[in-house]
Amino acid sequence: MSNVRIEDGEGIMLERRAVPASLGKTAPGKKEGAGSIFLRRFLAIHDLLLDWYGIILLLVLWQLCPTLGWIDGRFFPPPSTILAEGVKLVLKGELPAHVLVSLQRTLLGLAAATAVGIPLGFVLGGWFPRAARFLDPLLNLLGQINAFSLFPLFVLFFGIGEIAKFCIIFWSCLWPILFTTISGVQGVDPTYVKLARSMGSNGATIFARVLFPGALPSIFTGLRLGATFAFLMLIAAEMIGASTGLGWLVHNSSVNYLIPRLFLAAVTIALLGMTLNHTLVLLERKLVRWRVRNETA
């Protein structure tokens, strides 16, 4: 077995395990046998499904255990029952409506936290490092406060409507984005900054060509953490003060003992979180191509 480097359509170097030479080639003048073709295709499919075997095994066991009576299907319904419930809610238009409401709340809070956390992180980490050091204990203290514990205060000041939910999501997302931005800016090699200044670059050029690209990987880490916290806090907020959304769907299903619908909402939340996280990873690969090349070199 040997590792080979391939280049995708966007110039990003990727690395994967190659098929052994003895399996991938045939002797001159001989036709490739049916067994060799089958083995080569099998290895290619295996390579594609390698990351999905764990999920496939979980789904198979999840389907078999209630079906065979190993666990009570009333409390742990199989995926087929959950899927049927999902189709029913999709045809009624209820599930898409809940998903859109939750996504809107999540993305709005995440976007606001990004708009505040990244500029503030550059100001503290790049231009005023002494202020960042002075404020570090206070910022860390505030970052440790769970947003849901502040929900009564948000309700007291903003009521039980959308603003309170926005504040919870904003608070949850702000701190990981702020801290990773500060860390990313401070982690940029000072030699690059000195070199840029020696070449006559002004502050805007240094920011655009040195500080921002250097801190970008750390910023994306904060964005992914913020997206995860946003979904966690959103569901908790929707369980208390909402009439729509996936969190409300979980709470309503629990109160009315609609177990398949409860599992459907939980699985939908997990899929949305995975999709948002994967989208951020793909965006990072597009914007931080130099890091991808270094990791695959």
Give the pLDDT of residue 51: 73
- pLDDT-based confidence at 189, cuts 50/70/90? confident
Shared-domain flag, residues 36 and 97: no
Alpha helices in the chain (DSSP H): 21-24, 34-49, 53-67, 79-92, 94-122, 129-143, 151-158, 162-186, 190-198, 203-206, 212-240, 246-255, 259-287, 289-296
**Residue-wise pLDDT tens digits, 253-275:** 988 888 999 999 989 988 898 89
CATH code assigned at 217 = 1.10.3720.10
Shared-domain flag, residues 131 and 246: yes
pLDDT at 112 over 90: yes
Shared-domain flag, residues 240 and 171: yes
pLDDT at 5 over 50: no
Paired tokens of 141: 């203290």
Q: Report, as an integer, the average pLDDT of 71-84.
A: 88
Residue 81 lies in a domain: no
Shared-domain flag, residues 91 and 50: no
| Average confidence score pLDDT of the chain | 82
pLDDT at 29 over 90: no
Last residue of a domain, one of 29, 53, 76: 76
Give the pLDDT of residue 254: 87
Last residue of a domain, one of 76, 96, 115: 76
Shared-domain flag, residues 67 and 92: no
Q: Report, as an integer, the average pLDDT of 2-20.
A: 46
In 3D, which of 226, 260, 261, 276 has the Cα closest to residue 73? 260
Shared-domain flag, residues 99 and 208: yes
Q: Report, as an integer, the average pLDDT of 122-134.
A: 88
Number of domains in the chain: 2
In three-state secondary structure terms, 71 is: coil
Q: Report, as an integer, the average pLDDT of 234-238.
A: 80
Residue-range definition of the domain harbouring residue 247? 86-296
pLDDT at 35 over 80: no
Measured CA distances, 295 to 103, 289, 290 (Å): 32, 10, 9
Give the pLDDT of residue 36: 74
Shared-domain flag, residues 162 and 132: yes
Shared-domain flag, residues 104 and 40: no
Determine if the pTM surpasses 0.85. no
Last residue of a domain, one of 42, 76, 110: 76
pLDDT at 32 over 70: no
